[in-house]
């Protein structure tokens, strides 16, 4: 009895990998959807119906149960992050059930889709937190969800994407980190004594301590450092105490207290006051160093390839008309060769000179630094007001 049940299940699974159990090809085989029908009669044992066995989950080879999945999301082969994705059940034109991703406007914005475009604005109107099915939102979108790799890959036309540099992260997703207290220290000490004629001539004890303390809280970073020296010349030397905070709208940071100028062009100067300066680390990684802006015109849907010293450093698909490539990564000095390959196979080539200097800024970029305060000299404070004289001990 049990052997016959196992044989029936084995036959059903073999049919799952080839053709339907009824011997008919699936009606939608031409469309590429692997849909298979199983005959529950294979599981009937001794005339007892097997109606309690649900085989519908096996009728579609690529079927994924609805639910919430954690997945790495990529848009046009560019990773955008890891998100919780809801998969919902949907019936296609052939009335076959399938699971499709269901997202919100907030997720679409995080992924870089242009919600202000005419197509997306109309499709997502009033959908702040409700389910938006990507396959219905964008007819030409390609969605591939892999439950084994926990990945969701989307292919979206450039017209539906916001134009942002590569490596861009929305400032709303920046994290200042946790509140913490840090302390670095280094202590060194020594004691030397000289002898003459079997008698102690001089002693020279000396100690040096270097301490740097810091506190991070609420986006503020507090730092302070000083040196303490003991011995014949006791002193306490402060190296700087300041508070620092990021200013995201202007891609910079403000420093209050004892600080120094950047020293990129002129010599660095210590001062006590306020300094506000740009911070390249707040820019997308493709914008943190200098690279030229490439402009050209494509006659058709074309592929633009940028080479440097024979190696491909960038490739992009562009629409007919003028195009701009302004998100090249800064690299070594060397002229760039640009190739525009049209849809008919014809090519247009032109070059761009590329030289890097430390003061170069990208087109449309801005680097700034301003300091206000008083010039600060190195401050050495007496460690002890008491004078220590030499103590001589003679050996008997």
CATH of the domain at 320: 2.60.40.3110
pLDDT tens column, 84-132: 888 887 765 555 567 788 888 888 888 888 777 655 665 555 555 567 7
Q: At residue 67, does pLDDT exceed 90?
A: no
Within a domain: 97: yes
Within this chain, do residues 191 and 220 fall inside the same structural domain, yes or no? yes
Within this chain, do residues 144 and 231 fall inside the same structural domain, yes or no? no
Q: Are 362 and 287 in contact (CB under 8 A)?
A: yes
Identify the domain containing residue 19 by its residue range.
2-58
Within a domain: 262: yes
In this structure, the number of other CB atoms found within 10 A of the CB of residue 395 comes to: 8
Within a domain: 394: no
Q: Are 166 and 286 in contact (CB under 8 A)?
A: yes
Within this chain, do residues 259 and 378 fall inside the same structural domain, yes or no? yes
| CA-wise closest residue to 241 among 215, 280, 209, 264 | 215
Q: What confidence category does residue 266 fall into, taking pLDDT thresholds of 50, 70 and 90?
A: confident
Within this chain, do residues 146 and 220 fall inside the same structural domain, yes or no? no
Within a domain: 24: yes
Within this chain, do residues 28 and 158 fall inside the same structural domain, yes or no? no
pLDDT tens column, 202-224: 666 778 888 889 999 988 999 98
> Percent of the chain, pLDDT > 70?
67
pLDDT for 254 equals 94
pTM across the whole model? 0.56
Mean pLDDT for the chain overall? 75
Within this chain, do residues 264 and 186 fall inside the same structural domain, yes or no? yes
The last residue of a domain, from among 131, 163, 195 = 163
Within this chain, do residues 311 and 328 fall inside the same structural domain, yes or no? yes
Within this chain, do residues 77 and 124 fall inside the same structural domain, yes or no? yes
Give the span between the Cα atoms of 377 and 394, in whole angstroms: 44
Arithmetic mean of pLDDT, 291-310: 88
Arithmetic mean of pLDDT, 17-43: 48
Give the span between the Cα atoms of 89 and 77, in whole angstroms: 26
């Amino acid at each position: 009895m049990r052997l016959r049940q196992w044989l029936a299940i084995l036959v059903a699974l073999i049919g799952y990998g080839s053709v339907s159990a009824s011997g008919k090809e699936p009606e939608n085989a031409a469309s590429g959807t692997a849909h298979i029908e199983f005959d529950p009669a294979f599981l009937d044992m001794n005339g007892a119906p097997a109606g309690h066995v649900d085989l519908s989950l096996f009728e579609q080879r690529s079927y994924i149960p609805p639910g919430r999945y954690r997945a790495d999301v990529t848009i046009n082969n560019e990773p955008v992050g890891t998100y919780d994705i809801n998969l919902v059940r949907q019936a296609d034109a052939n009335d076959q059930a399938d699971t499709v991703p269901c997202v919100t406007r907030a997720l679409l914005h995080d992924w870089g889709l242009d919600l202000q475009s005419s197509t997306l604005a109309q499709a997502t109107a009033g959908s702040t937190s409700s389910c938006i099915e990507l396959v219905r939102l964008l007819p030409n979108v390609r969605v591939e969800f892999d439950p084994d790799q926990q990945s969701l890959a989307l292919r979206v036309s450039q017209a539906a994407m916001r134009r942002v540099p590569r490596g861009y992260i929305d400032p709303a997703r920046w994290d200042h980190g946790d509140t913490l207290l840090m302390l670095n220290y280094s202590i060194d000490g020594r004691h030397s004594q000289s002898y003459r004629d079997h008698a102690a001539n001089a002693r020279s004890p000396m100690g040096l301590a270097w301490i740097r303390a810091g506190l991070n809280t609420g986006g503020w970073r507090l730092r302070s450092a000083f040196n303490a020296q003991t011995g014949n010349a006791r002193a306490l030397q402060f190296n700087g105490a300041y508070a620092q905070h990021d200013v995201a709208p202007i891609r910079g940071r403000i420093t209050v207290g004892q600080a120094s100028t950047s020293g990129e062009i002129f010599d660095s100067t210590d001062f006590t006051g306020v300094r506000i300066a740009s911070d390249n680390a707040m820019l997308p990684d493709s914008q943190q160093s200098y690279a030229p802006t490439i402009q050209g015109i494509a006659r058709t849907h074309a592929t633009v390839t940028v080479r440097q010293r024979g190696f491909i450093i960038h490739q992009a698909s562009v629409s007919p008309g003028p195009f701009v490539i302004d998100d090249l990564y800064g690299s070594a000095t060397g002229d760039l060769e640009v190739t525009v390959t049209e849809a008919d196979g014809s090519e247009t080539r032109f070059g761009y000179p590329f030289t890097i200097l430390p003061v170069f800024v990208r087109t449309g970029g801005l680097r700034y630094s301003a300091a206000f305060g008083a010039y600060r000299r190195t401050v050495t404070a007496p460690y002890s007001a008491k004078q220590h004289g030499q103590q001589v001990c003679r050996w008997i």
